[in-house]
Amino acid sequence: MTDNHADHNRQQALAAADFIAKQIGSAPRVAILAGTGLGDMIDQLEVQAQIDYRQIPHFPAATVQSHAGRWVAGNLNGLPVAVLQGRFHIYEGHTPKAVAFPVRVLQALGVSTLIVTNASGGLNPYYATGDIMLIRDHINLTGANPLVGANEDLWGPRFPDMTAAYAPDLRTMAMAEARAADIALQQGVYVGLKGPSLETPAEMRFLRAIGADAVGLSTVTEVIAAVHGGMQVMGLSAITNMCTPDQPAPSDVDSIIDAARATAPVLGRLIGAVLTRLADGALASGAEDVQGAP
């Protein structure tokens, strides 16, 4: 039930959450927001219900290819999980509040942990296509923020602290599970742009110069809203192409989707291991050093 004129306020989030709750039974504790080409990565999930985004009151419409636009509810080792197959982007014409609306619905459902995934271009010369990067921090260059305007105090504080936007405990857990499963896991800084055009070689050099390891067109808006709402966040980027300004190679969306889908099984295995540990109640109490490669 898409409403293109919705302002995506708290009342609308509560209405959407109420609709979803009646369809899925157990409220999710953890949610996964899946990026381009990554919607089917969790095959360990015992699916209980699937809802098309178009049925959910006030939900935006997913328009980008490989974004199915479907809410999947299920269980993994007894842990209620929601998988959002598809996200929204500012470049589609959505407002930042619309992009963040699914996070607000998750917040209304009581979700405490959010895992975000995306397909990204690799800026760090130590990376390669097919790598997975654990997001340590991000740079918001979209020119937008979902918190602009009057603050909804019941959602979160006026000035949320972002010094640990990507929860150190969850990053520690992901590193431990990657080592145990022999999964190579990079760590770095993600930079979010508005898009939809991809980066020029000069822009690639600039992004590398300011400390970015990977670049994409999503994620930062939802993470800001999640942190504002008190959620613990873990972010994972599938490196689908390399941004090499001195030897630029053209990229297109089909090749990016293909690369993301090739990486999805490994990404799903890692997320499944983290979810299993969460289901066992083993969230680490302290954070080890998770600094990235140079």
Instruction: Give 113-165 pLDDT, tens digit per residue.
Output: 999 999 999 999 999 999 999 999 999 999 999 999 999 999 999 999 999 99
Confidence of residue 281 (pLDDT cuts 50, 70, 90): confident
Residue 286 lies in a domain: no
Residue 259 belongs to domain with CATH number: 3.40.50.1580
Which burial class, exposed, middle or buried, applies to 33 when counting CB atoms under 10 A from its CB (0-12, 13-18, 19+)? buried
CB 220, CB 98: distance < 8 Å: no
CB 11, CB 56: distance < 8 Å: no
- Full residue range of the structural domain in which residue 85 is found: 10-279
Please tell me the distance from the alpha carbon of residue 93 to that of residue 31, in angstroms, as a whole number.
Answer: 25
Both tokens of 147, joined, read 């918190």
CB 238, CB 259: distance < 8 Å: yes
CB 76, CB 44: distance < 8 Å: yes
Residue 152 lies in a domain: yes
CB atoms within 10 A of CB 11: 10
pLDDT at 251: 84
Confidence of residue 283 (pLDDT cuts 50, 70, 90): very low
More confident residue, 252 or 206: 206
CB 197, CB 90: distance < 8 Å: no
CB 134, CB 235: distance < 8 Å: yes
Amino acid identity at 104: R
Question: Running DSSP on this structure, what letter comes out for residue 197?
Answer: S
Both tokens of 19, joined, read 């609709």
- State whether the Cα torsion 224-225-231-233 is positive or negative: negative
In angstroms and rounded to an integer, the radius of gyration of the C-alpha atoms of the chain is 18
Residue 291 lies in a domain: no
Confidence of residue 3 (pLDDT cuts 50, 70, 90): very low
Instruction: Give 195-231 pLDDT, tens digit per residue.
Output: 999 999 999 999 999 999 999 999 999 999 999 999 9
Residue 144 lies in a domain: yes
∠ CA 105-108-114, rounded to 5°: 65
Both tokens of 127, joined, read 């990376």
pLDDT at 14 > cutoff 90:
yes
Residue 290 lies in a domain: no
Q: How many Cα atoms are found within 13 Å in the side-chain-facing hemisphere of 233? A: 30
Residue 293 lies in a domain: no
CB atoms within 10 A of CB 122: 24
pLDDT at 285: 36
CB 76, CB 276: distance < 8 Å: yes
- Say how far residue 76 (Cα) sits from the centre of its chain: 19
CA distances from 209 to 123, 124, 204 (A): 10, 10, 9
Residue 265 lies in a domain: yes
pLDDT at 4: 45
Total count of domains within the chain: 1
SS3 235: strand
Q: What is the DSSP string of 97-163?
A: HHHHHHHHHHHHTT--EEEEEEEEEE-STT--TT-EEEEEEEEEESS--TT-SS--TTT--SS---T
CB 1, CB 57: distance < 8 Å: yes
Residue 241 lies in a domain: yes
Confidence of residue 102 (pLDDT cuts 50, 70, 90): very high
